[in-house]
Amino acid sequence: MIGIFDSGVGGMTVARAVETLLPGNQIIYYGDLARTPYGSKSPEAIIEYSIANTEFLIEHGAGIIIIACNSAASVASDILRRKFAVPIFEVITPAVERAVSSTVSGNIGVIGTRATIRSTIYEQKIKQQAPEFRVFSKACPLLVPLVEEGWLNARETKMILRKYLTPLKHKQIDTLVLGCTHYPLLKDLIGHRMGKSRVRLIDSSIEVGLTLQKYLTAKPAIHETIQRGNENKYFVSDMTKAAAATAEQIFGRHIDLIKV
Amino acid sequence: MIGIFDSGVGGMTVARAVETLLPGNQIIYYGDLARTPYGSKSPEAIIEYSIANTEFLIEHGAGIIIIACNSAASVASDILRRKFAVPIFEVITPAVERAVSSTVSGNIGVIGTRATIRSTIYEQKIKQQAPEFRVFSKACPLLVPLVEEGWLNARETKMILRKYLTPLKHKQIDTLVLGCTHYPLLKDLIGHRMGKSRVRLIDSSIEVGLTLQKYLTAKPAIHETIQRGNENKYFVSDMTKAAAATAEQIFGRHIDLIKV
């Protein structure tokens, strides 16, 4: 089973990408809705929650873990890799690799929650691969609540995006990393604001799915040990109508959430 | 000691009101930042957290409890009153009483988080006292993140307030309950939007302070048992820079937060 965890249901954009790119592999998802969002919590709290989430997924049969939450990936992935034996993927590295390979100008933008941006993880990882590149980051704490409000095409959302994105536009970036799993739901508005022909948007959910696909193709023995099946399971630590609605919006169909 | 709990630091508007109205009474505050916000959680989760928060405050010497979180007050106050022997106050009842006594037209508006509005607690309590009054409610889930972003006077905040408040304005309300402890920080903008001379804003933080003041004056024996002192203590279950900044904004001075 492929285990995926997130602070909420936003990480289901990763589950959807894995479902599309790796059909026939069973997914087990854990959304920590009881403590969502992670983006405003301290690194210590996020690390504690990430360990508990990983333990839950492994106990329930996961042989591979994907950290689908950027805030968790930015502060907890190294610790989880040291602590657990299973392969651990996260949404940051694949997005960084795609951004580095696709930029022409070397000016890369990154947007995310406050915790993700404050961690400077994207900047560090991009500079490791290409020290000469320039990284421009912007925390956008209102985008997750706007998505959860369902204002995916509202005038207010457009105005707030303008406020957040204009400083990045002035930096002449040609690549923008969507450093939060909720942001793909605003892809069209973000693309419109940045100029679709000028700026390439990197969707971390799709990139981690592609990375996992490549990994499992290269390691058929590991792929064998991951139990196959089609009964994907979506666990949540709290149940709300808003979460169920966002899950449905992401998949375009009804999703049974199981409260644990 | 007067124990006050909230899902975060917004409830410090209650602590500030108590400090002003009841000087010399020691306050012990607990902000559950590790699980903030409550507004998007299920009633079951909010009840569990509220019991734990009350136990913490009583163990640390609180002889009176104020539930400073509207979401917690709306779903957990009856349960807490049955479970604990100490007097329990909350931010909803005093605001309802003030609204009922101050309206002339009988058209009352209520704004709050999704959990508070969905609970219909304000509507129920107003109708208990005045069944003929009309209550118009509106969930405003973006206002807390806007306050936490510090956009207290931003154009985007004004636009979002217009979107949220225009339906209430059309209902000819003359009284508006600010059903969330963060909202007093937006009092000027809300007053401006609704028309300051036409609509009276009810600040639940001040109303609960006034109610407690009256209660302690009427019950000097209970007032005696509440330990006096000036060393107010502010405990939080997680520590972030944004929370410290909001606390400072509310009090207009530096506040030492103690992480437990």
How confident is the model over A164-184, as pLDDT tens digits? Answer: 999 999 999 999 999 998 899
pLDDT in tens, B167-201: 999 999 999 999 998 899 899 999 999 998 899 99
Mutation pick from A32, A38, A40, A159 vs chain B, by most beta carbons of B within 10 Å, is A40
pLDDT at A230 over 80: no
Which amino acid is located at A112 in the chain? G
Pairwise CB contact (< 8 Å): A159 & B155: yes
Question: Angle at CA B59, nearest 5°, toward B74 and B4?
Answer: 40
Position B227 scores a pLDDT of: 66
Position A143 scores a pLDDT of: 94
Domain boundary residue, one of B189, B204, B219: B204
Minimum Cα–Cα distance from A32: chain B residue:
B35
A50 and A150 part of one domain: no
Domain that holds residue B10: 2-90+206-259
Q: Give the CATH number of the domain where residue B119 resides.
A: 3.40.50.1860
A182 and A132 part of one domain: yes
A197 and A244 part of one domain: no
Position B26 scores a pLDDT of: 92
Mean pLDDT across A67-89 = 95
- A-chain CB neighbours of B244 within 8 Å are none
pLDDT in tens, B225-258: 776 766 899 999 999 888 898 898 889 899 999 9
Mean pLDDT across B14-23 = 93
Among B14, A243, A245, CA closest to A259? A243
B106 and B190 part of one domain: yes
Mean pLDDT across A128-134 = 96
Between positions 172 and 231 of B, the ones with CB within 8 A of A are none
Domain boundary residue, one of A177, A204, A231: A204
- B-chain CB neighbours of A146 within 8 Å are 142
B182 and B236 part of one domain: no
Mean pLDDT across A37-47 = 89
Query: B9 to chain A, minimum CA–CA distance in Å?
Result: 13
% of chain A residues with pLDDT over 70 = 99
Chain B contact present for A114, CB below 8 A: yes
Mean pLDDT across B206-220 = 94
Of B34, B142, B156, the CB nearest to A145: B142
A191 and A106 part of one domain: yes
Q: Print the SS3 string covering B210-254.
A: HHHHHHHHHCHHHHHHCCECCCCEEEECCCCHHHHHHHHHHHCCC
Of A34, A141, A149, the CB nearest to B149: A141
Position A40 scores a pLDDT of: 80
Chain A contact present for B158, CB below 8 A: no
* pTM score of the predicted model: 0.83
Mean pLDDT across B76-99 = 96
pLDDT in tens, A18-31: 999 998 899 999 99
- B-chain CB neighbours of A156 within 8 Å are 156, 159-160, 163
Count: domains in chain A: 2
Position A227 scores a pLDDT of: 66
pLDDT in tens, A98-121: 999 999 999 999 999 888 898 899
The DSSP letter of residue A185 is G
A85 and A108 part of one domain: no
A200 and A213 part of one domain: no
Mean pLDDT across B27-46 = 91
Chain A contact present for B152, CB below 8 A: no
A130 and A187 part of one domain: yes
Q: Which sequence positions of B are flagged as catalytic?
A: 69, 180
For chain A, where are the alpha helices, taking DSSP H only?
12-21, 43-59, 70-83, 92-102, 114-119, 121-129, 143-149, 155-169, 187-194, 204-218, 220-225, 241-251
Residue A140 designated active-site: no
- A-chain CB neighbours of B35 within 8 Å are 34-35
pLDDT in tens, B118-132: 889 999 999 999 999
- The interface predicted TM-score (ipTM) is 0.78
pLDDT at B87 over 70: yes
Residue with tokens 């009856």: B78
Mean pLDDT across B52-81 = 95
Cβ atoms < 10 Å from Cβ of B65: 26
A52 and A155 part of one domain: no
| Cα gap B55→B193, rounded to integer Å | 41
| Cα gap B135→B120, rounded to integer Å | 10
Of B114, B163, B240, the CB nearest to A40: B240
Of A45, A148, A159, the CB nearest to B238: A45
Query: B154 to chain A, minimum CA–CA distance in Å?
Result: 10
Enclosing H/E stretch for A227: none
Pairwise CB contact (< 8 Å): B141 & A149: yes
Between positions 21 and 50 of B, the ones with CB within 8 A of A are 33-36, 40-42, 44-45
A82 and A159 part of one domain: no
B111 and B188 part of one domain: yes
Pairwise CB contact (< 8 Å): B34 & A40: no
Residue with tokens 């920590």: A32
Give the pLDDT band of residue A39 (cuts 50, 70, 90): confident
Give the pLDDT band of residue A150 (cuts 50, 70, 90): confident
Query: A239 to chain B, minimum CA–CA distance in Å?
Result: 6
